[in-house]
Structure 1
Amino acid sequence: MSVNFSWPIFGHNKQISFLQNTLKQGNLANAYLFYGAKGLGKKMIAKYFVQSLFCTESTKPCQNCLACLKMNRGIQGNFMYLSALKNKDDNEDTQVEQVRNFLSNLSLTSFDGGYKLAIIYAVDKLNIFSLNALLKVIEEPPKNTTIILIADQINNLPATVISRCQLLKFQPLNKKDMSAWLETFKLNEVNQQTILNLSFGKPGLALEYIEDNLVSFKKDCQFLLKILSDNTFVAWQDLEHWFGILKKANPQAKVYELAHITTHYLDLWQLLLRDILWHKLNRPVLNVLFSENIAKISQKYSVTKILNNLLSINKIRRQLKNNVTPQLVWENLVLDLKI
């Protein structure tokens, strides 16, 4: 039977071709490691790989056969998945127990004697004890069993785990593939160009913008642009008001939790400053929605001030990870730019 594939995915041609050929030849590895930045489509490709393995039709996945219907309903007995992302109440012992139970169930014989396939999401978030348990299974895998590990980065994974996996590295999509994918959403021209510029080849990030219709993005930009436009005293008041709202909305939040909330704004601050710098250097800005605001604000700051503020952002990210009060960090960031 001739096998065809129906994977509605843009980009990642090399990785997709490799996986589809693997399915055609029936020579699955014991373990795969999909890695690359968050939002690139690793989970989506893993999903189609799994569906295609179980699909009984010639065009895979057909979405209509019994195997596909079971997958879509979450009742495919030969497929398992686990997310290593912690719930707020989880501790290390809880995670180890979850991983061991998962691996124990994976070692059981499949329902029909066929393949069993498992996905572990965010494997780079597992602690060392959980990784050791995983390593034992990868070294001596159950018969007809394949595990797909998904990670945003592999720097902290033990070399022993990495060396026993078939590695597939995922990169951001190029502009051509991203543009073609965005065309399917029928966005207006300005929104499409904005999302294309700001998602940096990451479909997952682009989807967040699309699903929100850029509403949150616009609101957050307006807030930070106001701080950049205001004089020092008013900007200070803006920050005071902002953190008052954050603390009221998150009354039980600890310092590191507030810091995590503000990290998104730090990313956006960096983006706006970079666009202000690019405008001053006569280069096209990425944030075309606010190009007029950026042009106006660019007159207020020197290239040196902007560069120094941009260079300090990585230092600030480290401070926010070390339980430094986020409000103090932000106040210093704004003052350094304005004074």
Structure 2
Amino acid sequence: MSYQFNWPVFGHREQLKFLQNAVSENKLANTYLFYGPAGLGKKFVARYFVQSIYCQDEKIRPCQKCRACQAITKGIYPDVYELGKNKQELSIDNVRELLHSLALSPVHGAHRVALIYGIDQINLYGANALLKTLEEPGRDTSIIMIGDSLAGLPATVMSRSQLLKFKPLNNHDMRDWVASYNFLHEEQDTIINLSFGKPGLALTMIADKLVNFKKSCNFIIKLLAHGTFYYMQTIDKWFGILKKEHPEYKVFELGALTKRYLDLLEVFLRDILWIKLERPVVNQMYQSELELLAEQFDKDRLVRGLLSLEDIKNKLRHNVSPQLLWENLFLSLK
């Protein structure tokens, strides 16, 4: 049956067409694996896909009005199961509980769907438990796995899945989307340039009308503009505040809270280097500030700083003091 699909998603045309055809032709695969960097809208696509499967409207899918559509939005539809939502651990016990639910008869209709978020974070025991179901899937069951990367996933899981790779949106699609919000042209360019084709990242900037983004930029500018004493003192105060605000975090876990600042610092250092090389900058809202900062740095130090940033990002994944990493970063710049 041919439907009019109501999926308010920018980009990902091939992926949408593939999934919508599966709904129209009622030919659902047993296992799907959505993968690609965070912030691309994989979860939104999965939700519209699942709603379209169960939607009761005979013309528009999903209609967002029927009981099935509304129940799925609220996360209470009885034949749709979710695992890993809100960063829930994908342990063997949680996977087994999910598989037990899938073994039950559907409450409505003749199909059940399981959504597994963060599949790239599943441990070996959970993956092995899941693999048994993937090897012998039920005809009336579809499992949709969503992850940022294929790295670490057993080859056997990937080989039994219909792979759908999601890529960052191109500038044209991003501009069409951002244009629907009320921003100045310069602000639109900044959002597009600094979200790197990721609508989720752009939304965080749009949500507060760039207020937090501007505060973060001013923080980075002050760090780069001042000397060693100011930098070390500011970093020390910053981590002191983070420790008080997040007492439940272990010292090395605080690094996750500073990652967006590292990403922004990388943009600043790269833009300063671009000015040195007489190339256009990404963060156009701060062109004049970048030009002033460019007078304080030479090319070699900027390259050294960018390399140090990559090293820091890798080390943050391990039990290394993030404050020490931030302090050492400055030494590579000045």
TM-score range, shorter chain: over 0.9
Q: Given the two structures, how large is their TM-score scaled by the length of structure 2? A: 0.94
Most deviating of 322-331 and 198-207? 322-331
Question: How much does 1:251 deviate?
Answer: 3.7
- The CA deviation string for residues 31-81 of structure 1, in whole angstroms up to 9 with x for no partner, is 000000001111111111111111122111111223223323333221111
Q: Aligned to 1:292, what secondary structure does the other structure show?
A: helix
Aligned counterparts of 1:148 and 1:125: Cα–Cα separation in 2? 15
Q: Give the Cα–Cα distance (whole angstroms) in 1 for the partners of residues 241 and 107 of structure 2.
A: 53
Aligned to 2:295, the other structure's residue is in SS state helix
Rounded Cα–Cα distance in structure 2 between residues aligned with 1:122 and 1:206: 21
The 1:70–1:248 alpha-carbon spacing in structure 2 relative to 1, beyond 3 Å, is closer
Secondary structure of the equivalent of 1:300? coil
Tell me what 1:173 maps to. 169
Counterpart position of 2:224: 228
Map of 2:42 onto structure 1: 42
Runs of 4+ in 1 over 4 A off after TM superposition: 84-87
**Partner secondary structure for residue 7 of structure 1:** coil
Structure 1, unaligned stretches of length 5 or more? Answer: none
Tell me if structure 2 keeps the 8 A contact 1:280–1:303: yes
Corresponding letter in the other structure for 2:208: D
Deviation string for 1:116-144 (max 9, x for gaps)?
Answer: 11111111111111111111111111231
**1:78–1:117: 8 Å Cα contact kept in structure 2?**
yes
Equivalent residues in 2 for 1:279-294, closer than 5 Å: 279-294=275-290
Q: Residue 11 of structure 1 aligns to a residue in which SS?
A: coil
Aligned-pair distance for 1:232? 2.2
User: What code does the residue aligned with 1:54 have?
Assistant: Y
- The one-letter amino acid of 1:282's match is E
Q: Is the 8 A contact 2:2 2:24 kept in 1?
A: no
Match of 1:72 in 2: 73
**Change in 2 beyond 3 A, CA 1:304/1:31:** same
Separation of aligned partners in 1, 2:262 and 2:22: 42
Once residues 28 and 322 of structure 1 are traced to their aligned partners in structure 2, the CA distance between those partners, rounded to angstroms, is: 40
In the TM superposition, what is the alpha-carbon distance from 1:274 to its structure 2 partner?
A: 0.5
Match of 1:139 among 129, 132, 135: 135
* Higher mean displacement: 64-73 or 159-168: 64-73
Determine helix, strand or coil for the equivalent of 2:113: strand
In structure 2, the partner of 1:206 is 202
- What fraction of aligned residue pairs are identical, expressed as a percent? 48
Change beyond 3 A, Cα 1:252–1:143: closer
Moved more, 131-140 or 316-325: 316-325
User: Structure 1 residue aligned with 2:213, among 209, 214, 217?
Assistant: 217
Contact 1:194 1:286 in 2 (8 A): yes
C-alpha distance in 2 between matches for 1:5 and 1:319: 44
Corresponding residue SS for 1:321: coil
After TM superposition, the structure 1 = structure 2 runs for residues 239-254 of structure 1, keeping only pairs within 5 Å, are: 239-254=235-250
Distance 1:286 1:173 in 2: 17
How far the C-alpha of 1:335 sits from its partner, in A, is: 1.9
Q: Does 1:159 align with 2:155?
A: yes
Structure 2 residue runs without a partner (length 5+)? none
- Please tell me whether the aligned partners of residues 40 and 204 of structure 1 are also in contact (alpha carbons under 8 angstroms): yes
Count of residues paired in the alignment:
333
In the alignment, the residues of structure 1 paired with residue 170 and residue 205 of structure 2 have an alpha-carbon distance, to the nearest angstrom, of 18
Residue 230 to residue 123, structure 1, CA distance change in 2 (3 Å):
same
Following the alignment from structure 1 to structure 2, what is the Cα–Cα distance between the partners of residues 195 and 174? 13
Structure 1 Cα separation of the partners of residues 123 and 267 of structure 2:
33
Query: Paired residue for 1:266?
Result: 262
CA RMSD of aligned residues (A): 1.7
Corresponding residue number in structure 1 for 2:54: 54
Shift of 1:260: 2.0
Residue of structure 2 equivalent to 1:3: 3
